[in-house]
Structure 1
Amino acid sequence: MKNLSALICFTCFLSVQFLFPQEASINDKNRSPLYDYSEIHLNSTDTIPSFETQENKLKITGTIYYSDGITPAKDVILYVYQPNADGDFVTHKTNGKKYIEHRAWVKTNAEGQYTIYTFIPGAPYEPLTYPRRRGMKQILPVIKVPGQPEYDFDAFIFDDDTAISERCRKKLERINYKGMLSLKKIGDMHVAVKDIVLKEENPSNTVVASL
């Protein structure tokens, strides 16, 4: 039983990091889909496709700070993608390359603030399980700081998700996991305030992927 519990927690941990597929760019297979916003006017607010028709609407809002946790970070791009309400990643093709339908981009304002209107996704199937079972609900964020390479932030998961065991919560706490969303219902919408502290800046990367 102890080994079984450990396996369940390990699977839970894996699902947070590796469950989502790597999205393909519509222009270059090796380029992050974060950059596929050429026809989108970036600002501090964006809306996931099909938001208006969703039952469990969700607003994620907050402030992105530099690594000191105090200074608001301006012009940071936050890109998110997620499964649909059934837990499936809906994909489409443009010029022969796949991209995920439910995605959005925001660029923080002068105060480091952002807002994304989306919906609570369904739970995808967990990896390494037979028979297959659903895992945690997740939204996947990618961050791009001006003059720095993009990087994956911890997957946004939901504090009230029954798929997250106490053992897994302790594991996530030990690794300083930062992706938990706590929801509050306001009218017909769930609201999560998620402030983000950026990784420490690396001056050697300042020319690698500037916008």
Structure 2
Amino acid sequence: MKNQVCTLLVVLLLVALKAHAQDKQVGGPCEGCEAIHESPVPFDKLDMLAKLPDATWTGKKPLGINGIVYKADGKTPAPNVILYVYHTDETGHYVAKKGATGWERRHGSLRGWMRTNEKGEYKFVTLRPAPYPGYSDPAHIHVTIKEPGLTEYYIDEFVFDDDPLLTPAKRQKLDNRGGSGILKLIDAGNMYKAERHIYLGRNIPNYPVHP
């Protein structure tokens, strides 16, 4: 029985790798983007809402980020798009839980996966990350995208409009991959909220004209 289970897992892995190999290469080099495939839930079972491990209302005000993912035309909602996000903790470190494997050891355990619904909507709840200690990089949330038929690629990080480290010079250097990632936070009382719409293919190298 154990051998049969192992054989089945190998077959499923080979099928997934074959399907991935047939995806069109887009976005250019992307170290760590393959972490999107470490989702503990199969892509087709993911929800549009992800609650990251640090999300809490106990003595803190969490951050809820939501938006709509649009197709390359900029107006048609894109369903079944996978988003993978990860970020530092409140001290600016990527901290992985004990026994972490794969990319979790580098990305830390504050990460999550979502799949856009039929309206292209996504949402995740977490705590606001801190910038790297001793560095001038603004606090940020990394995000990777996986569309049907295309390889995964990164888009501009979520950054915060009120972050003093997000200087005018740094704003000008943003690539706007997928559109602007600058978040304007709204204090909703028991939490902070922000919205970012994502535009597939925008400023993405090798993106097909008709995906």
Determine if the TM-score, normalized by the shorter chain, exceeds 0.5: yes
CA distance in 2, matches of 1:96, 1:176: 31
Instruction: Report the equivalent of 2:127.
Output: 119
Instruction: Report the equivalent of 1:91.
Output: 96
Question: So what's the TM-score if we normalise by structure 2?
Answer: 0.72
Q: 1:102 aligns with which of 78, 86, 110?
A: 110
Contact 1:91/1:98 (<8 A) preserved? no
How far is 1:147 from its partner? 1.3
How far is 1:134 from its partner? 4.7
Q: 1:70 aligns with which of 62, 66, 75?
A: 75
Q: Which is further off, 154-163 or 93-102?
A: 93-102
RMSD of aligned alpha carbons: 2.4
Q: 2:160 aligns with which of 158, 161, 180?
A: 158
In structure 2, do the counterparts of structure 1 residues 55 and 64 end up closer, same or farther at CA, with 3 Å as the change threshold?
same
Q: Does 1:202 align with 2:204?
A: no
Counterpart of 2:173 in 1: which secondary structure? helix
CA distance in 2, matches of 1:54, 1:70: 39
Number of equivalent positions: 169
Q: Following TM superposition, where does structure 1 have runs of at least 4 consecutive aligned residues deviating by more than 4 angstroms?
A: 93-96
CA distance in 2, matches of 1:148, 1:176: 19
In structure 2, do the counterparts of structure 1 residues 78 and 98 end up closer, same or farther at CA, with 3 Å as the change threshold?
closer
Instruction: Report the equivalent of 2:146.
Output: 144
CA distance in 1, matches of 2:90, 2:124: 17
In structure 2, do the counterparts of structure 1 residues 153 and 54 end up closer, same or farther at CA, with 3 Å as the change threshold?
farther
How far is 1:49 from its partner? 0.2
CA distance in 2, matches of 1:96, 1:106: 20
Q: Which runs of 5+ in 1 are unaligned?
A: 1-21, 24-30, 126-131, 207-211
In structure 2, do the counterparts of structure 1 residues 54 and 151 end up closer, same or farther at CA, with 3 Å as the change threshold?
farther
Q: 1 or 2, which has the higher strand percentage?
A: 1
Question: So what's the TM-score if we normalise by structure 1?
Answer: 0.72
Q: How much identity, in percent, do the aligned residues show?
A: 32
Counterpart of 1:32 in 2: which secondary structure? helix
In structure 2, do the counterparts of structure 1 residues 171 and 135 end up closer, same or farther at CA, with 3 Å as the change threshold?
closer
CA distance in 1, matches of 2:39, 2:191: 27
CA distance in 2, matches of 1:190, 1:152: 25
Q: 1:82 aligns with which of 49, 71, 87?
A: 87
Contact 2:87/2:129 (<8 A) preserved? yes
Residue pairs, 1:22-61, within 5 angstroms: 32-39=34-41, 41-52=45-56, 53=58, 55-61=60-66
In structure 2, do the counterparts of structure 1 residues 133 and 188 end up closer, same or farther at CA, with 3 Å as the change threshold?
same
